[in-house]
Amino acid sequence: MVVVKWAGVLVAAVVTALDLCANIMLGALSLRHQVPDVVNLFAVVVAATGAVVAFLAHLHGVVDRRLASLGEQVSTRLDELEAQIADRNTGFVEGYLAGQGGEGSVVPLAPRGRRSGLDE
């Protein structure tokens, strides 16, 4: 987009300079002839279009840089959060396993119809 921005600036500057030069030369050399209004209007339109293109290209670059920066910040923050959460989960699991005193055994649940241990 940098090329587009500077191309727009260059077009606007060159067209403005050429139109100004043509108006000065015809005004100074002959009092009877003038640059046609259509040529002046065309020069103004082309210069304005070049300036708008340059401005929009500049805005695009600024927005693109800000979005890239925001993406990097979000990615960094998510990595930090993931590291903190992973550390907490690791500590929880290790503490739970240490409290069990060895391999955990699988105990089947009692059937739903019976209450084991409470009625006896």
Residue given tokens 């998510």 in the structure block: 78
Q: Identify the residue with better confidence: 11 or 117.
A: 11
Domain definitions of the chain by residue range: 2-92
Q: Does residue 112 surpass a pLDDT of 80?
A: no
- Tens of pLDDT, residue by residue over 16-57, are 999 999 999 998 887 788 889 999 999 999 999 999 999 999
By CB atoms closer than 10 A (0-12, 13-18, 19+), residue 3 is: exposed
- Tens of pLDDT, residue by residue over 56-106, are 999 999 999 999 999 999 999 999 888 877 666 666 666 676 666 656 566
Is pTM beyond 0.95 here?
no
Cβ–Cβ contacts within 10 Å for residue 57, how many? Answer: 19
State residue 4 phi and psi, 5-degree precision. Answer: -65, -40
User: What is residue 21's predicted lDDT score, i.e. its pLDDT?
Assistant: 94
Chain centroid to Cα 106, Å, comes to 52
